Amino acid sequence: MPTTPVTLPGDVVDLVRQAHSITVFSGAGMSAESGVPTFRDAQTGLWERYDPAALATVDAWDNDPALVWGWYLWRMKLVGDAQPNPGHRAITALADHRTVMVVTQNVDDLHERAGSNVISHLHGSLFEPRCSGCSAPYHGTGTRLPDGFDITSYTEPPRIDPPSCRECQSPVRPGVVWFGEALPRGAWQRAEHAISGSDLVLVIGTSGIVYPAAELPERALAAGTPVIEFNIDESALSPYVTRSVRTSAAVGLPALLDALGE
């Protein structure tokens, strides 16, 4: 985990100190520091010849549901082995003295495991599978790799049959938003409400190129709400935000708490 100290600009600290209600809008960079590979990172090992974008589609599911389910179980295992980083924990601590609403593009549960209440998973969650037929939430077995499962013993990606819905017997699918699918209406409405009701928006580790999610910080700026970006790289939002802080979440957010005296 990065440990290089960072000094935050005074106006950034002042904006956070003055805010009573903050929306944290997080992307893949937030979880990358916990060892969760970003979706667009090249796959390795068994999955290196598969394009993640080609696996995350309805067509891929229809063509080979066992392959897609095996890939998502592997991703769940990666996330389950990861731990929240200091950035996740700093967001939780930030809520001790003000209202903090977390809206995330990530499909992991690291914000929740750090103690934050996520009001909107815009792109769904790995840990909320649902029926591919009737869309009923699924809480049964078969949604984790078996104990002792050793993926290194495989020479080809494992094909694992998905469980069946208890309501209609259709295959259970991952609870994520695939390419070409609409964002969940409820998640989108909660995110809109959070953005419109905030004094400040913190955009953390997102590229700003995935729409419609990227519209949300743009809407905040258009409404006159300050937007502060924490990102190690320049993003599509960087030219427009109120302030960009070129540091990672795991370094910058704990530094923010220190500067606030929290």
User: pLDDT for 204-252, tens place per residue?
Assistant: 999 999 999 999 999 999 999 999 999 999 999 999 999 999 999 999 9
Out of 88, 123, 139, 193, the active site residue is: 123
Of the candidates 248, 207, 235, the residue with the CA atom closest to the CA atom of residue 106: 207
**pLDDT per position as a tens digit, 79-107:** 988 999 999 999 999 999 999 999 999 99
DSSP 176: B
- What's the rounded Cα separation, in Å, for the pair 209 and 206? 8
| CA distances for 178 relative to 59, 77, 122, 181, angstroms | 10, 19, 12, 6
Q: pTM for this one?
A: 0.92
Of the candidates 261, 225, 258, 228, the residue with the CA atom closest to the CA atom of residue 245: 228
- What's the rounded Cα separation, in Å, for the pair 171 and 64? 12
Q: Which domains does the chain have, with CATH numbers?
A: 1-36+84-128+180-262 (3.40.50.1220), 43-81+130-173 (no CATH)
Of the candidates 160, 162, 141, the residue with the CA atom closest to the CA atom of residue 151: 160
Average pLDDT over residues 15-36: 95
Peptide linkage before 212 cis (omega within 30 of 0): yes
Annotated active-site residue 88? The verdict is no
Q: DSSP assignment of 80-96, as one string?
A: HH----HHHHHHHHHTT
